[in-house]
Structure 1
Amino acid sequence: MLSIQDGERETMTMDPKSRWEKERQEGKNQRIQAILEAAKSVFLQKGIEKATMQDIAREAHIGIATVFRHFPKKDKLIVAVVTQMVESQIPVFEAIADGEGSCIQKVEQLLDLFISYTQEEHSFNTKLLEAFESYQSLMPEPLEDIGVYEEVSHKIIMFYSRIFEEGRRDGSIRPDLPVHETLSTISNNFGTYAKKLSAQRNVLLPHMETEPEQQLLILKQIFLQYLRP
């Protein structure tokens, strides 16, 4: 990986045309990132459906023509935002899949990861993903570029599959259970419930006497006890 000094030295040794192209690309990447960050903020403040491209341009302090140059449709921008959010989580799932421990230990780490998403510092992304899933479900046609989002999501699914496959071999999961189907069901439902609780953490719910994190910890122990031989 190049250090800042190495990057500057590399730029200085380039011919003028290559240096101009590199700086142009870096400027483009910075503008795109600024648009994505602004879109995340506006989507959360106003809701994905009500947010406009003008709102996003204003939040990013750039002209609306620049926003449209990079994202000709709002749906493309929506998908780009959530794709980047999901992509940023790939190293976390990869670390669990490649780490030490049995299948059930890695499943516990996955459940702990979902629990961590209910904490305040993660609530921004969790709420936006929840809003995206709701928005997407109401669309009569698939969102443009949704294939890019699905491709990134599939990478995480493959880490799940690797963990679940270990459960067929290492004896840490009850042998009478259909391992992949059971672990997929638990992970999907636990993750969905964790997102719901995170999205509702600042909403007054009189019936919720137990804190979200405590509910998930109890549910985690129920699932793990069910899975153990």
Structure 2
Amino acid sequence: MDPQSRWEQERQEGKNKRMKIIVEAAEQVFSIQGFEKTKMQDIADELNLGIATLFRYFPKKDKLIVAVAVNVLERYYRFFTDVAAKDVTCYEKMEMLFNHFIADLEPENLACTKLLEAFESYASTSLDELGDYQQYILIRKKVADILTEIIEEGILDGSIRTDISAKDVLLSIINAFGLFSRKLSLFERIPFFEDELDPNVQMIIIKGIFMEYIKAK
């Protein structure tokens, strides 16, 4: 590699590293203050960074919002990829995915779960302003592709019922379970009535129903 190419590569790597630091800091601020209330100055202050420097990397707050959402979803993609690579049956992999969504309701994971749900709500009313939203769509497709890969293995390994449309049913179940998990995360600070079920208990019960339904007879 010639000196000019090496310099350009190092420059790009430095830029990517700085952008990653900004995105991670923004995620923390958005988690606490929300998308609407957060100002770019708040994120610059969190990083002890000049506002002009921040705008050089992210000219609009909406671009940073999308980058944060993509960063969160990439963590799901890495987990799904790890599950897909395990040498176990599709049925066991589905249980791992269910358990992952249940774990999203643990205190240490709530901020991330709530942020993803908040982004979907924000995007539904601000889609025209989210110029980089396609990046989020692409990472969601990658997650769906990995899930499809897991399901197709289940059709072959005999661990999933063969009298149902496995792909349609399992995709619907995982989507519903994940959405329910994220919805429950929004009620974390709302007091429940004495006779209401704890969110984790609700998730475990629904997981059991789904697992029994898809299991090969």
The TM-score, its normalising length taken from structure 2, stands at 0.89
Q: How does 1:7-86 map to 2 (within 5 A)?
A: 24-25=11-12, 27-86=14-73
Q: Report the alpha carbon displacement of residue 198 of structure 1 after superposing the two structures with TM.
A: 2.4
Which of the numbers 90, 115, 122 marks the counterpart of 1:135?
A: 122
Corresponding residue for residue 10 of structure 1: none
Structure 1: gaps of 5 or more residues: 1-13
| RMSD, matched Cα | 2.2
1:98 is the counterpart of 2:85: yes
The whole-number CA distance in structure 2 between the counterparts of 1:115 and 1:79 is 25
Identity %: 45
Q: Report the alpha carbon displacement of residue 20 of structure 1 after superposing the two structures with TM.
A: 6.3
Corresponding residue for residue 210 of structure 1: 197
The whole-number CA distance in structure 1 between the counterparts of 2:153 and 2:25 is 41
Q: Secondary structure at the match of 1:149?
A: helix
Structure 2: gaps of 5 or more residues: none
Q: Kindly tell me: are residues 23 and 175 of structure 1, through their superposed partners in 2, closer, same or farther at Cα, counting changes over 3 Å?
A: closer
Which of the numbers 96, 100, 110 marks the counterpart of 1:109?
A: 96
The whole-number CA distance in structure 1 between the counterparts of 2:5 and 2:162 is 60
- Report the more deviating stretch, 197-206 or 23-32: 23-32
The whole-number CA distance in structure 2 between the counterparts of 1:185 and 1:16 is 52
The whole-number CA distance in structure 2 between the counterparts of 1:162 and 1:148 is 21
The whole-number CA distance in structure 2 between the counterparts of 1:208 and 1:30 is 49
Which of the numbers 206, 221, 228 marks the counterpart of 2:208?
A: 221
In the alignment of these two chains, the number of paired residues is 216
Larger Rg: 1
The whole-number CA distance in structure 2 between the counterparts of 1:197 and 1:35 is 29
The whole-number CA distance in structure 1 between the counterparts of 2:151 and 2:195 is 33
The whole-number CA distance in structure 1 between the counterparts of 2:88 and 2:3 is 52
8 Å CA contact 1:94–1:159 kept in 2: the answer is yes
Q: Kindly tell me: are residues 203 and 91 of structure 1, through their superposed partners in 2, closer, same or farther at Cα, counting changes over 3 Å?
A: same
Q: Report the alpha carbon displacement of residue 186 of structure 1 after superposing the two structures with TM.
A: 0.7
The whole-number CA distance in structure 2 between the counterparts of 1:207 and 1:159 is 40
The whole-number CA distance in structure 1 between the counterparts of 2:127 and 2:209 is 38
8 Å CA contact 1:119–1:198 kept in 2: the answer is no
Corresponding residue for residue 5 of structure 1: none
Which of the numbers 163, 169, 174 marks the counterpart of 1:182?
A: 169
8 Å CA contact 2:127–2:133 kept in 1: the answer is no
Which of the numbers 163, 185, 193 marks the counterpart of 1:198?
A: 185
